[in-house]
Structure 1
Amino acid sequence: MPAALLIPTSGNSGSTLHGMPCGAIGVRGNTLRKGYARFFPNYGGNMQTLEIRAAQYEELPEVARMYRYSRDRCLSFIPRLHTPEEDLWFFQNIVFKENELTIVMGDEQITGMMATKDDWVEQLYLDPRHLRKGVGTKLLNQAKAHSSGNLKLMCFVENVDARAFYEVHGFKEVKRTSGSENEEGAPDILYEWKA
């Protein structure tokens, strides 16, 4: 995994490329700037730089808070089974130890996270205040780039926005479950992407 990626974004200016929020990716210390004016009319104005990098152990309390905030706002159809303390334990003892945990930093806070293991996206959550800004796309593209050319994930059937997001990014539905295979008991879908 690269040490960090910096993604300059245009904030809420509404700049898009092919209908999706856009931003160039550069390696830390060498952010790409060529051609920004073409995609960002406000370039030089209110630009925000997002950093995508590996999470550090001491950041896990903030990761767990963002995860809970996202689930509460975006997945209100599933039961809340765990306390914030249990969420933190989960990230400290399971997610961080068994996965590659990537975070997105913006405005000096964690705005997104993704946990991957082998060719699975185990977790992908964004702060709902930062949706539709291209951050999820950057995380998913990073997972694709580090995969063997095959990537899988599970998505709740009722999470219509996430399903549309994954399908736009080339994921195909493989099978549906009744929810008996997840602790929430909510029907879900196995998605797969192939290069």
Structure 2
Amino acid sequence: MFDVLPTLYTTNPTNIYHSGLLMNSSNIEFTRYQPEYGLELVKMWRQSFQEAMNLEKHNRFEELEGQLDYFSSIDLQSILVAIDQSNSRIVAFRVLNSSELDHLYVDVDYQGLGLGSALLDGAKQNSPEGLELYTFQKNLRAQQFYESHGFFEVQRGFADSSTNPWAKSKEDLADIKYRWVPDEHLSDI
């Protein structure tokens, strides 16, 4: 699958004030997922998800193992990872399957710096007919993010409880399906 790699900044690299440190944007590299990234990526994913959903912070082995298995079960070419080269830290990733954005997560320490937007813009370039995704209703920040990038709600429902062991009630599984279509396709809806 051909994939346009995102560009974090279109002009010369700039400095970003991040967590008390001055960070150069040229330190961020977008690359394909490699199996050796697995554990670090899953830990970042879990921390970001737990923060977004206001869940208990933990890394239970059986849940980590299940998420690692997920990455070994999908096409590795569908996974794009952002790495901060200054500290070799995985700071964001996305999973794009054709026109479905399965996952997009940014490390909590790197949110608000444009990484999510860069990954999303790259996904849009690779899906010229449009994109669909799901987000949980409890995740208001994700809803605002996607809506600010031109996504609109198409339906509400509930995620599968068997793939979401963290959920304590059906309400926790309430989700929203979003769609984005390029401006030239809006009249087709």
Structure 2 counterpart of 1:101: 79
Counterpart-to-counterpart distance in 2, 1:83 and 1:41: 34
Q: Name 2:53's counterpart in structure 1.
A: 75
Q: Would you identify which runs of 4 or more consecutive aligned residues in structure 1 move more than 2 Å?
A: 1-7, 39-42, 178-185
1:115 lines up with 2:95 in the alignment: yes
Q: Which residue of 1 aligns with 2:181?
A: 194
Task: Measure, in 2, the Cα distance between the counterparts of 1:74 and 1:193.
Answer: 22
TM-score by length of 2: 0.75
Distance 2:16 2:178 in 1: 36
- Distance, in Å, in 2 between the alignment partners of 1:101 and 1:163 is 22
What's 2:142 paired with? 162
SS in 2 for 1:124: strand
Aligned residue in 1 for 2:185: none
> What is the SS of the residue equivalent to 1:83?
helix
Return the alpha-carbon distance in structure 2 between the equivalents of residues 91 and 122 of structure 1: 12
CA–CA distance in structure 2, aligned partners of residues 164 and 59 of structure 1: 29
Q: Percent identity?
A: 24
**Does structure 2 retain, via aligned residues, the 8 Å contact 1:6–1:51?**
no
Following TM superposition, by how much is the alpha carbon of 1:77 offset from its aligned partner in structure 2, in angstroms?
Answer: 4.9
Matched, 1:134 2:121: no
CA deviations over 1:76-128 (Å, ceiling 9, x no partner) = 359x896212221222223xx37600001113211000001010000111111
Counterpart residue number, 2:167: none
Q: Are the structure 2 counterparts of residues 137 and 3 from structure 1 closer, same or farther at C-alpha, using a change threshold of 3 Å?
A: closer
Contact 1:177 1:188 in 2 (8 A): yes
Distance 1:104 1:98 in 2: 15
Q: Which residue of 2 aligns with 1:59?
A: 37
Please tell me whether the aligned partners of residues 78 and 95 of structure 2 are also in contact (alpha carbons under 8 angstroms).
yes
Contact 1:3 1:53 in 2 (8 A): no
Cα shift at 1:48: 3.5
**What RMSD, in angstroms, separates the aligned Cα atoms of the two structures?**
3.0
Distance 1:109 1:126 in 2: 12
| 5+ residue gaps, structure 1 | 8-22, 25-31
Q: Quick one: higher RCO (CA 8 Å, sep 6+), 1 or 2? A: 2
Q: CA deviation at 1:73?
A: 1.9
1:145 aligns with 2:132: no
Q: Count residues with an aligned counterpart.
A: 165
Contact 2:16 / 2:24 at 8 angstroms: preserved in 1?
no
Unpaired segments ≥5 residues, structure 2: 165-169, 183-189
**Matching residue's letter, 1:110:** I
Q: Is the CA contact (8 Å cut-off) linking 2:96 and 2:123 kept in structure 1?
A: yes
Cα distance, 1:58 vs structure 2: 1.9
